[in-house]
């Protein structure tokens, strides 16, 4: 237990409460008790870290948390200062604030959590401008005016986005705005299949989809992945619907070959089955030409296309979309009439303007560059320092990389050790639908949400974990 003379701050190392949270609690209590007065400069992160014997990033995390909570302010170049308490409640309210460990929830994403954009790079002011413009010119458009398919301006913007970026020639009338991509998948299933129908899913694949299909009473079948992509359904029970990630297989990362695509479309035509193309992160390719969507290839005859904005906006907007083949429009219209739109209407008009003014694309180009650099950094270090533990395949795309482990090391063991050390390495085996223990061992390493410094620190930890394992 470390006791700082000037702060009633005690750090218990054995505790379940993470150290940065203990620091937060200590500082909060000192602010509330008045030991830390308004305007007091906090010790520099480096100094403080040394004094209490923790890493500097732990102190930064704690300070930033307290900035977010309004206990501290941070001015560029002048460190952290204690705020006026203002309307922070001192009596009962506060005892609750201190007692209830809410702070763990507001911390930024931890490397190598997957699928998360870096919202620190987001052009918040440009987005605010787009929203403010709607407020000024067309306030109603935030709350009313859409059909059950969503805001028409946004649907038009998505249609031209898809034409230009994904090779899909769809009219705005075929586009449905959804509350993210899981909502989109749910709407598709409600529209084209029934309880008891057979659904084909990739294996390994996206676990929430596996769970959802089961919860919906669908019969799951699985398609293994080979060098060309998902394998065609075979066997006695053929699916009525398959869900594919042809541009960038989740989680392995490869693109489906043109031949395999043709085979899937032919198969679907022959068996009167439907294909859902989950194009979850096609925005991010770092080299080569973009791979057109299967739905464009298929001319939308058998393929229902699902896209999402969560790779750009994080979960803040909760918006995704479906491109519905003409022949299915009536069914989707019935689904939407029956269950209603689950998407928030408010961001839709602003997003349409954000896209049509080009801000969306400026941001996309900017983050693609940043993410590309982070990815390069990660791959170089993996290549240089981790090749004795496994290997990776470079698909030049996406927001994460799978580091395949050599025999003898279990990804779940690494994940457990990583968690103890405060980092996240999602085990590849958790994306297999099979019974426990099957599937290839690997670590899914998300790289978009973290600076090179943050990635570097996490890689140092990961290296120590591997070294610990091999010396054990």
Q: Which residues bind a copy of itself (CB under 8 A)?
A: 68-69, 87-89, 92-93, 96-97, 100-102, 105-106, 119, 122, 124-125, 127-129, 131-132, 134-149, 152, 171, 173, 179-180, 215-216, 313-319, 329, 333, 336-337, 340-347
- Between residues 131 and 414, which has the closer beta carbon with respect to a copy of itself? 131
What are the distances in angstroms from CA 235 to CA 228, 434, 450?
A: 19, 17, 44
165-197 burial by CB neighbour count: b if 16+ within 10 A, else e? Answer: bbebebebebbbbbbbbbbbbbbbbbbbbeeeb
Tell me which residue has tokens 């307290």.
66
Token output for 447: 């790289």
- Between residues 69 and 441, which has the closer beta carbon with respect to a copy of itself? 69
Write down the least CB distance from residue 183 to a copy of itself, Å. 8
In terms of Cβ atoms closer than 10 Å to its own Cβ (0-12, 13-18, 19+), residue 270 is: exposed
- Between residues 94 and 379, which has the closer beta carbon with respect to a copy of itself? 94
Contact 243, 276 (CB under 8 A): yes
Write down the least CB distance from residue 320 to a copy of itself, Å. 12
Write down the least CB distance from residue 385 to a copy of itself, Å. 32
Greatest Cα-to-Cα distance within the chain, rounded to the nearest angstrom: 77
CA 177, CA 349: separation in Å to the nearest integer? 12
- Between residues 186 and 281, which has the closer beta carbon with respect to a copy of itself? 186
Token output for 459: 């890689």
Token output for 109: 């994403």
Write down the least CB distance from residue 332 to a copy of itself, Å. 11
Token output for 464: 């120590």
- Between residues 136 and 365, which has the closer beta carbon with respect to a copy of itself? 136
Q: Which 3 state secondary structure label does DSSP give 439?
A: coil
Q: Which is it for strands 274-278 and 303-308: parallel, antiparallel or unpaired?
A: parallel
3-state percent helix, strand, coil for the chain, nearest multiple of 5? 45, 15, 40
CA 44, CA 48: separation in Å to the nearest integer? 6
CA 455, CA 462: separation in Å to the nearest integer? 10
CA 67, CA 82: separation in Å to the nearest integer? 9
- Between residues 336 and 455, which has the closer beta carbon with respect to a copy of itself? 336
- Between residues 90 and 262, which has the closer beta carbon with respect to a copy of itself? 90
Write down the least CB distance from residue 204 to a copy of itself, Å. 20
- Between residues 125 and 376, which has the closer beta carbon with respect to a copy of itself? 125
């Amino acid at each position: 237990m470390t006791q700082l003379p000037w702060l009633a701050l005690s750090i218990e190392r054995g505790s379940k409460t993470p150290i940065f949270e203990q620091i937060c609690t200590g500082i909060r209590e000192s602010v509330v008790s008045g030991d830390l007065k308004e305007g007091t400069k906090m010790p520099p992160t480096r100094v403080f870290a040394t004094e209490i014997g923790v890493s500097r990033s732990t102190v930064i995390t704690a300070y930033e948390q307290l900035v977010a909570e309004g206990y501290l302010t941070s001015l560029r170049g002048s460190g952290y200062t204690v705020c006026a308490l203002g309307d922070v409640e001192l009596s009962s309210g506060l005892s609750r604030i201190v007692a209830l460990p809410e702070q763990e929830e507001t911390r930024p994403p931890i490397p190598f959590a997957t699928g998360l954009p870096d919202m620190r790079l987001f052009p918040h002011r440009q987005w605010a401008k787009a929203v403010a413009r709607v407020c000024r010119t067309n306030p109603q458009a935030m709350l009313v005016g859409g059909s059950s398919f969503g805001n028409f301006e946004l649907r038009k913007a998505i249609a031209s986005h898809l034409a230009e970026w994904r090779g899909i020639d769809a009219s705005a009338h075929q586009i449905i705005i959804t509350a993210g991509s899981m909502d989109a998948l749910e709407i598709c299933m409600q529209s084209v299949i029934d309880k008891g129908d057979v659904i084909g899913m990739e294996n390994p694949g996206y676990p929430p989809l596996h769970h959802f299909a089961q919860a919906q009473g669908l019969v799951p079948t699985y398609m293994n992945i080979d060098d060309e992509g998902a394998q065609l359904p075979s066997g006695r029970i053929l699916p009525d619907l398959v869900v594919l990630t042809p541009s960038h297989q989740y989680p392995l990362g490869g693109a489906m070959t043109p031949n395999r695509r043709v085979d899937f479309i032919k198969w679907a035509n022959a068996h009167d089955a439907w294909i859902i193309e989950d194009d979850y992160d096609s925005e991010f390719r770092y080299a080569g030409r973009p791979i057109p969507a299967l739905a464009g290839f298929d001319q939308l005859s058998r393929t229902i296309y699902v896209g999402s904005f969560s790779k750009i906006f994080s979960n803040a907007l909760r918006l995704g979309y479906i491109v519905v083949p003409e022949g299915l429009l009536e069914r989707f219209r019935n689904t939407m009439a029956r269950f209603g739109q689950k998407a928030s209407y408010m961001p839709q008009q602003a997003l349409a303007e954000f896209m049509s003014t080009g801000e969306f694309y400026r941001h996309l180009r900017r983050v693609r560059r940043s993410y590309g650099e982070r990815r390069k950094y990660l791959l170089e270090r993996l290549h240089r320092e981790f090749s004795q533990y496994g290997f990776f395949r470079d698909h030049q795309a996406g927001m994460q990389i799978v580091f395949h482990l050599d025999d003898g090391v279990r990804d779940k063991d690494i994940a457990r050790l990583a968690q103890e050390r405060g980092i996240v390495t999602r085990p590849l085996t958790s994306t297999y639908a099979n019974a426990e223990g099957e599937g290839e061992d690997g670590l899914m390493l998300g790289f978009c949400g973290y600076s090179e410094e943050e990635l570097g620190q996490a890689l140092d930890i990961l290296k120590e974990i591997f070294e610990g394992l091999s010396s054990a």
